[in-house]
Amino acid sequence: MKKILTCVFLILVILGFLILVISFKMFTVSGGSMEPTLKDGEKILTNKLAYLFSKPQRGDLVLVNAEEKTWVKRIVGLPGEQIEIKDGSIKINDKVLYESYIKEIHTYGDQRVFLDKGQFYVLGDNREPNQSTDSRILGPVSSKNILGKVIALISPNFKLLGKQNYQLGY
């Protein structure tokens, strides 16, 4: 009986370890495109299975694969929406997006994009000119290119990263 319990325990430990390896990825932030939320050199933890049973939401921090690189960005636009950046503001379906987490209130750029099914508009939190390679440059990101949801800052200080405050105006 003791051997059976030991085997079951070892199997559970191995399965738990495999789930951790499959589900989570550590990533080091490179550059200042996500300041002030994330800074260059900080380590984050990403849940690679977060969107297996749910859909990405506005405000989520995600790892994105684009142009053979991995980027950390924030989801701003969702499938089926019209995104317009003009005169320093972002409008989603003609409603102004107010974000409490961005470094600059002024978002640089001038474009209008219609998101198809499975497309997302992602931006860095640092909206100053030439500070973030994001959907303003790369275009919409396919759901296939979202590698996971950022759930925690690991280093230098541990901090769970929940949903940030934003509001769609009139």
Residue 52 maps to a domain = yes
**Is 2 domain-assigned?**
no
Higher pLDDT, 23 or 84: 84
Structural domain span for residue 99: 26-168
- Note whether residue 60 is domain-resident: yes
- Full-prediction pTM beyond 0.85? yes
Based on the structure, what is the number of domains in the chain? Answer: 1
127 in helix, strand or coil? coil
pLDDT-based confidence at residue 5 (cuts at 50, 70, 90) = confident
Dump strand ranges (E) for the chain: 24-28, 43-47, 61-66, 69-77, 82-86, 89-92, 95-99, 111-114, 119-123, 141-142, 146-155, 159-160, 166-168
pLDDT digits (tens, 9 = 90+) for 19-63: 777 788 889 999 999 998 999 999 999 999 999 889 999 999 999
- Position 160 in a domain: yes
Active site residues: 33, 73
Residue 128 included in any domain: yes
The answer to the question of residue 41 being in a domain is: yes
Q: Give the pLDDT score at 61.
A: 95
Q: What is the CATH number of the domain that holds 105?
A: 2.10.109.10
Kindly report, residue by residue over 120-139, the tens digit of the pLDDT.
999 999 988 888 899 999 99
Q: Look at residues 14, 24, 114 and name the one whose alpha carbon lies nearest to residue 63.
A: 24
Residue 113 lies in a domain: yes
Residue at 4 is within a domain = no
